[in-house]
Amino acid sequence: MSVSDDAFLGGGLRIYQPLQGYRAGLDAVFLAAAVGSCGEKPIRVLDVGAGVGTAGLCVARRCLGARVVLIEREAELVALARQNIQRNGLEDRVTVIEADVGRISRDALVALGVRHEHFDHVIANPPFHSEGAGTAARHRLKAAAHAMPEAGLADWARFMARMARPGGEAIVIHKADALPALLGSLEGRFGALSVRPLHSQIGEAAHRVIVRGIKGSRAPFRIEAGLVMHDAEKCATPGADGVLRRGLALDAAFAPPLAEVAAGASS
């Protein structure tokens, strides 16, 4: 399999990924950034459908106390994920297992060293399409990464709920038009559901959403302020640049300067 060697986080992370097939990009980095500012705080993170490991490795690079498990069903991507872990020097904090989240049993997970209700953060970038909807990609890995069975989103949400600890959170990035289905799959399994729209440019409709929920919470649903990724000249906004190049968490990268906060409080 031919691969490319790509830089993420301003060169702070090097990722091998297939030249043909699904390729990780902005979505994986923004998903990782949605895990809040953590510093060296010990946290346990599960990256579901991890592919070559980009999102989980971005979390591990930023959060020095993070222990990350990547779970991926495609053997070729698992092999690349293992290489990516090693080449970035993260073997002591990141592991990868080969498994299908829709089929693996509790006992099989335990045998692989993964416990239920164990993770503080369970993150996912699910396939965007249902099988049979539209034309399937010619490349097998790309087709598998972009399409799932019709009930697949519910299977992923069920698995994420099984793996999150009480009070732990699920974080999912998806197409904006999948929001109703995504909320439907998470509702009843997670509370305090919130939606953060991502806009390519100001004035444009959101093209992605980041949805999070807290296991066991009864807090109401809310919509967060949207994040704009590019300015009028199609350059990355300061917030987006902070996420993509400096590896900042969303809550740090898009926080208003202290001077603006002070001015708003005094007006």
**125-183 tens-digit pLDDT:** 998 755 444 444 455 555 454 445 555 899 999 999 999 999 999 999 999 999 999 99
The secondary structure of 50-85 as a DSSP string is -TTSHHHHHHHHH-TTEEEEEEES-HHHHHHHHHHH
Domains and CATH numbers, the chain: 3-266 (3.40.50.150)
CA–CA gap between residue 189 and residue 215 (Å, rounded): 7
CA distances from 97 to 53, 109, 144, 151 (A): 11, 9, 18, 23
Q: What is the DSSP letter of 198?
A: E
Model confidence band, residue 13 (pLDDT cutoffs 50, 70, 90): very high
Q: Which has the closest alpha carbon to 148: 106, 100, 97?
A: 100
Residue 261: the pLDDT is: 39
Handedness of CA 175, 38, 246, 59 (dihedral sign): negative
From first CA to last CA, the distance across the chain in angstroms is 60
Q: What percent of the chain has pLDDT over 90?
A: 76
CA distance 209 to 213: 13
pLDDT at 38 over 90: no
Computed over every residue of the chain, the mean pLDDT equals: 89
Q: What is the mean pLDDT of residues 220-243?
A: 94
Cα distance between residue 255 and residue 225, in whole Å: 11
Q: What is the pLDDT of residue 256?
A: 74
The pLDDT tens digits of the residues spanning 77-109 come to 999 999 999 999 999 999 999 999 988 888 999
Amino acid 186: pLDDT: 96
Phi, psi of 230 (to 5 degrees): -135, 145
Among 19-28, 68-77, 224-233, the range scoring the smallest mean pLDDT is 19-28
- What pLDDT was estimated at residue 139? 53
260 pLDDT band (50/70/90 cuts)?
A: very low
Tell whether the model's pLDDT for residue 15 goes beyond 80.
Answer: yes
Q: How high is the pLDDT of residue 262?
A: 41
